[in-house]
Amino acid sequence: MKFRTTIFLLALGLFTFSNLHAQQDAQAKKVLDAVKNKYNNMKAFGASFKYSLKSASGVTDNFRGSITVAKKMFRMKAGGQEVMTDGVTQWTYLKETNEVNITEYEPDEGITPNKIYSIYEQGFKYRMLPAESKGAYHSIEMVPQDRSKYQLTKLKLKVKKTNNAIMGWEMYEKKGNRYVYSVLKFIEHKNGLPKKFFQFDKSKYPGVEDNDLR
């Protein structure tokens, strides 16, 4: 479980952003803009997904999870832990040890689940991959403009052509590890969700230990 916890946190923190700009692929930008607008216009949405890690050393790890997003708030459950934030405070619950780490939410520190559809605006070059965009999906590759600052070498986003929905993404690390996410089911919460849904409710975790790191 410790291994899963490590790769889960790594997958959430592979990026730190910079404000660099370069000439981009116009077709890819059109699709990415449509994707961003689609999700930004939703009050809230949720998805279930499957995840796999293929490490450079041959180690593989697979699990399933779920995520719910409402603007700056999100709640993600996978790999024996839950990460949630109401946009101010972040809670990370570790099932194996029955403890929760409480920190201030710092949205600029790295990639978080509520940013996957808009990270292309934050210091990345992007292009359409024609050979992989045949059929029902667009495939768009994104790479950091300053590779020396990132563990990540590139990210591939899979977008459904008919409705601009994100169907999956792959992250490639310098060390040779590859992280693959595939969306299994998607739901839009048209009426939104209450803020308390994205806050840690201690009463639902009997005996949990608090680690307030704020």
User: H or E stretch including 158?
Assistant: strand 152-160
Beta bridge partners of 191: none
User: What pLDDT does residue 69 have?
Assistant: 92
Distance (Å, rounded) from C-alpha 195 to C-alpha 87? 9
Model's pTM, two decimal places? 0.77
Q: Is 150 helix (H, G, I), strand (E, B) or coil?
A: coil
* Residue-range domain boundaries for the chain: 2-201
User: What pLDDT does residue 53 have?
Assistant: 87
Distance (Å, rounded) from C-alpha 53 to C-alpha 98? 25
> With 0-12 CB in 10 A as exposed, 13-18 as middle and 19+ as buried, what is 194?
exposed
Q: Please report the sign of the dihedral spanned by the C-alpha atoms of residue 159, residue 167, residue 76, residue 86.
A: positive
pLDDT in tens, the chain (214 residues): 444 444 444 444 433 333 333 457 899 999 999 999 999 899 999 999 998 988 888 888 898 999 999 988 999 998 889 999 999 999 999 999 999 999 999 876 555 555 667 778 778 899 999 878 788 999 999 998 887 776 788 989 999 999 999 999 998 988 899 989 999 999 999 999 999 999 999 999 999 999 999 9
User: What pLDDT does residue 15 have?
Assistant: 37
User: What pLDDT does residue 25 have?
Assistant: 87
CATH of domain 2-201: 2.50.20.10
